[in-house]
Structure 1
Amino acid sequence: MQRRTFLRSSALASSLLLVPTLLHALDAGPGLARLRDARGRRLIVVQLGGGNDGLNTIIPYKNELYYQARPTLGIKESAGILALDKDLGFNPAMRGLKGLYDQGQVAVLNSVGYPNPDRSHFRSMDIWQTGSAAEQTWSTGWLGRYLDSACADCPHPYNALELDDTLSLALKGQTRKGLALKDPAKLHRLTQSRAGAAAHLADHAHEHHAAQVDYLYQTLAETTSSAQYLYDKTRIYQSATAYPAGEFGKSLKTTAELINSGVESRVYYLALAGFDTHVRQQEQQGRLLGQLSDGLAALAADLAQSGEWANTLVLVFSEFGRRVGQNASHGTDHGTANNVLLLGGSLRRQGILNAAPDLANLDQGDLRHQVDFRGIYATILQDWLGADDAGILGTGFERVRGLV
């Protein structure tokens, strides 16, 4: 029996393959106390998959070079651009985020990237998720290493949760990993049949796969208590806030319910895909940015109502931006530097934090990065989560001073 076939034989495999091993009991321990040193603060990461076009997200609507590069794709002020500061404006679909911006709850960093950028979706996403340099290949993620550092003896497997079926590299550490789940109720139902599933696996595996059977059986058993805990917690609080329809809105709602129910996770990781807009970009990107904007506005309102928004920081990023010039298909191709959004109820610096992208000084048609994304990570790790940013990322990255 092949390992791939062996794993597929379990209905739980897709949910549990990336669940960390050696999960412990749910009683509080020293690891939980160490995480609480960050004063109950949490981080929510939103990954925009596909390479979001930053120039049509934060629009330089007073810059004629923008319209020269995008004669039909450039969004005109008359289309309803939502004016911000420094002659920049949100895409017309981003009214929810504009409301938060006006309340001082959004910060924008322009031209974020890294030296020698890679235009491959997979490679660039790996770089962003690990915090490596372009010439390095790392097997652990920046948030996974945070768990290694700050949560070495945590009793819980859910100190970092990803609202998905599989765990991203970002949440994989050397010794600690996050927990991936789309729906606490679904995970709970799956783990309830653990005994039958494990027996089925054992009965159908050859003897030389016994170690694999033992591993899956133990993982299954260890996950059950966590699934029960999360399921019970989400039954405490049922959100009445209206979120956008679709998977992303559902994930945001689940995140709010977990937070408002008292789950002790310090990191939540979500994704919104579909931003690879080579063709007919306007409609597709507008729809996705509307989901992003309305969803985050709903999340902020939900958490503010329960008093949790002040303890929350949201990071929104994409693996790269798009080319400055439009292509022949009324879309944009893979580019380099991009904007990054930070949201929260306790931002000390708000608005546009640096200069708009320099469209007069391009690198073969691409934006030059002005801010290294690892400096943003270092800021979050040290100033927000109270972690050792140098130990997790290395040194030499300039933090965003006074942000949080």
Structure 2
Amino acid sequence: MPTSRRDFLKASVLASSLLFVPKFLHALDRQGLQPLRNSNGRRLVVVQLGGGNDGLNTIIPYRNDEYYKARPTLGIREQSGILTLGQDLGFNPAMTQLKGLYDQGKVGILNAVGYPNPDRSHFRSMDVWQSASDSDKYVGTGWLGRYLDATCSDGHLPYTGLELDDTLSLAMKGNLRKGLSLKNPEKFHQLTQNRFIAQVSREKASAASGSELDYLYKTLAETASSAEYLYQTSKVYKSGVAYPNTEFGKSLKTTAELINSGIDSRVFYVSLTGFDTHVRQQEQQGRLLGDLSSGLGSFTEDLQKAGNLDDTLILVFSEFGRRVSQNASNGTDHGTANNVLLLGGGLKQQGILNAAPDLLNLDQGDLRYQLDFRSIYATVLRDWLGADDQLILGREFARLPGLV
């Protein structure tokens, strides 16, 4: 058997165990390792609340009689410890650390965020949010992946976008470039230290540029280089801040350690799941919002101590909100518009940034959206990351002036 053929088969076996197992890695771009073009040193951390978080019991209109009429047992009363914010709105009682950040001017709340013709399917609505597409269009790339496409030079660092998870979300997949998915830099590095993997990753690519073998060698070399860089850089800083002992808390701690170690990544993606609260919502949502609040509290404290909070923007979203009225199981069913949270030391506007949802003007029992979520994306892309929002989103969306 020719050497190149034998090598290709060996490398193909490697690829099946390395590149196509979501727990560890997703295929990287063919290009070399070069810095991000036009980087302004700012970072974006996206926090996805999977399952459809109930926005009305997160940012509570506690003086609105319509809220309590729709939720006679599920509505949270002021005497239950609502953390008041102003404009007759308050945080869920579980969100004490976020309330502290709000009082420090580090939180912005956008109400009734959504999109036209909303879809109540978890998968489809999440696709819409992650791809930034219209609800009747199917797009195979994500808004952050297209950011990588648009802002990376001929070559790029594979770790410019990192997702702290077992799998890579649509949001992080571009036409040419993708983010890198990993749970832990040390374990990721260990994977590439297998003797055969290390040997293959050091081999020179085939002379036939563009061949399958050439691509495989380049991918393995980039993977090994990225794993080594992430592992070595992550050792520079070890957090002394206490985080929740949850998967979400661990992901945020790893993210903070990477940022505070000086890693060149610009986009990070973290998820907290379990918000599909059709039954007995209060306990489940309260626990999750407590995890969200304490995790983000620790994360911002960590970044602030290292002097990195002012250059970091955190965006918290969920694929949809819930119905205004509670259901018969003391929960809520799939709805439409929802709130979005922005956190960071560089917010130019803080607090409650637009009007609360109108509970007297519903669309078949659901909240009407006031703000297209892509306006938030456009603002973040252009005004925070310095990118071409229209190129990335495919058309112009009104930006929110003076926000970041």
TM-score by length of 1: 0.90
CA gap of 1:221–1:189, structure 2 versus 1, over 3 A, is: same
CA-to-aligned-CA distance 1:199-218 (integer Å, 9 cap, x gap): 8xxxxxxxxxxx87876565
CA-to-aligned-CA distance 1:300-342 (integer Å, 9 cap, x gap): 1100011100000000000000000000111000000000000
Alignment of 1:186-335 (within 5 A): 186-193=187-194, 195=196, 218-335=218-335
Say yes or no: does 1:20 pair with 2:28. Answer: yes
Instruction: Give the deviation of 1:153 after TM superposition.
Output: 2.5
CA-to-aligned-CA distance 1:183-226 (integer Å, 9 cap, x gap): 00010000111615998xxxxxxxxxxx8787656533320111
| Local SS of the residue matching 2:368 | coil
Alignment of 1:3-402 (within 5 A): 13-22=21-30, 24-25=32-33, 32=35, 34-36=37-39, 39-193=40-194, 195=196, 218-402=218-402
| Local SS of the residue matching 1:386 | coil
Aligned 8 A contact 1:171 1:178 in 2: yes
CA gap of 1:171–1:106, structure 2 versus 1, over 3 A, is: same
Gaps of 5+ in 2: 1-8, 201-210
Instruction: Give the deviation of 1:397 after TM superposition.
Output: 1.6
Aligned 8 A contact 1:112 1:338 in 2: yes
Name the CA distance, whole Å, in 2 between partners of 1:18 and 1:392: 22
Instruction: Give the deviation of 1:236 after TM superposition.
Output: 0.8
Aligned 8 A contact 1:260 1:308 in 2: yes
Instruction: Give the deviation of 1:14 after TM superposition.
Output: 3.1
Aligned 8 A contact 1:19 1:180 in 2: no
CA gap of 1:333–1:198, structure 2 versus 1, over 3 A, is: farther
Instruction: Give the deviation of 1:278 after TM superposition.
Output: 0.4
Name the CA distance, whole Å, in 1 between partners of 2:226 and 2:198: 18
CA-to-aligned-CA distance 1:245-297 (integer Å, 9 cap, x gap): 11100000000000000101110000000000001100100000001001111
CA gap of 1:274–1:197, structure 2 versus 1, over 3 A, is: farther
Aligned 8 A contact 1:49 1:318 in 2: yes
Gaps of 5+ in 1: 26-30, 200-210
Q: Which amino acid aligns with 2:395?
A: T
Name the CA distance, whole Å, in 1 between partners of 2:45 and 2:381: 13
Name the CA distance, whole Å, in 1 between partners of 2:75 and 2:113: 21
Q: Which amino acid aligns with 1:49?
A: G
Instruction: Give the deviation of 1:346 after TM superposition.
Output: 1.1
Instruction: Give the deviation of 1:10 after TM superposition.
Output: 5.7
Q: Which amino acid aligns with 2:164?
A: L
Moved more, 249-258 or 190-199: 190-199
Name the CA distance, whole Å, in 2 between partners of 1:396 and 1:21: 28
Moved more, 385-394 or 312-321: 385-394
Aligned to 2:205: none
| Local SS of the residue matching 1:357 | coil
Name the CA distance, whole Å, in 2 between partners of 1:284 and 1:212: 49
| Local SS of the residue matching 2:97 | helix
Instruction: Give the deviation of 1:19 after TM superposition.
Output: 3.4
